[in-house]
Amino acid sequence: MSNATFIQIHPDNPQEKKIREAVEILRKGGIIIYPTDTIYGMGCDIHNTRAVERVCQIKGIKPDKANFSFICQDLTHISDYAKIDTPTYKVMKKALPGPFTFVLDANNRVPKYTGTKKTVGIRVPDNNIALLLVKELGNPILSTSIRDDDEVLEYSTDPELIYEKYKHLVDAVIDGGPGNNVASTVVDVTNNFEVLREGAGDIEEYL
């Protein structure tokens, strides 16, 4: 496999041409690493099963065991993939875009590679690049975190170091400036807003 493309995109004013370049890679079944409002994520088109399998191979996990989240552009598409009631919607509307992953009951439109999983994680990150990628693609991006298991930092924050590590595994790495090393807060909406992982956001502010 040839080296991944390294795409530098301005975090505040993302260049449309470069967003389109990255989305073209997604449409062809490619895997990209891209910035969010928390850590850098690895993602692909949720509808491309082969790409999802590749992400699982890179992470060393089985598709039906993986805790993937869907990066959405806003709340309008969430009901396409998850069951959501009005009180939950109101909380999410206040908290998003922001550093949260909300675990919701999945509906039957969630792609079948999630196996028997009954839930889906939904993210709307407060990051221009991530949101424009989803908008241009036209559907959510399947996302998973990239971890540094063997280093002091739990998550890679430098796009150039990420590129060095993943350039033979993925198809593109987007440099959108330094990432954070604190992941999103994971909130289980199906269990009365239980916090499953403490992260960058405080859900209490929105309840």
Q: How far apart are CA 167 and CA 162, in angstroms?
A: 8
What is each CA distance from 181 to 31, 98, 154, 184, in whole angstroms?
Answer: 21, 15, 7, 10
User: Which positions of the chain have pLDDT values less than 70?
Assistant: 1, 114-116, 148-154
Q: How far apart are CA 168 and CA 188, in angstroms?
A: 35
Range of the structural domain that residue 62 is part of: 5-206
Q: What pLDDT, on a 0 to 100 scale, did the predictor assign at position 97? A: 97
Q: What pLDDT, on a 0 to 100 scale, did the predictor assign at position 153? A: 60
pLDDT in tens, 130-177: 999 999 999 999 999 887 555 556 677 899 999 999 999 999 999 999
Number of folded domains that form the chain: 1
Q: What pLDDT, on a 0 to 100 scale, did the predictor assign at position 36? A: 96
Q: How far apart are CA 57 and CA 136, in angstroms?
A: 26
What is each CA distance from 111 to 34, 60, 133, 201, in whole angstroms?
Answer: 22, 20, 20, 28
The 3-state DSSP class for residue 175 equals strand
Q: How far apart are CA 19 and CA 8, in angstroms?
A: 10
Look up the CATH number of the domain holding residue 201.
3.90.870.10
Q: Is 107 exposed, middle or buried (0-12, 13-18, 19+ CB in 10 A)?
A: middle
Cis, bond preceding 111 (omega within 30 deg of 0): no
Q: How far apart are CA 179 and CA 38, in angstroms?
A: 7
Question: Which tokens in the block code for residue 76?
Answer: 């309008």
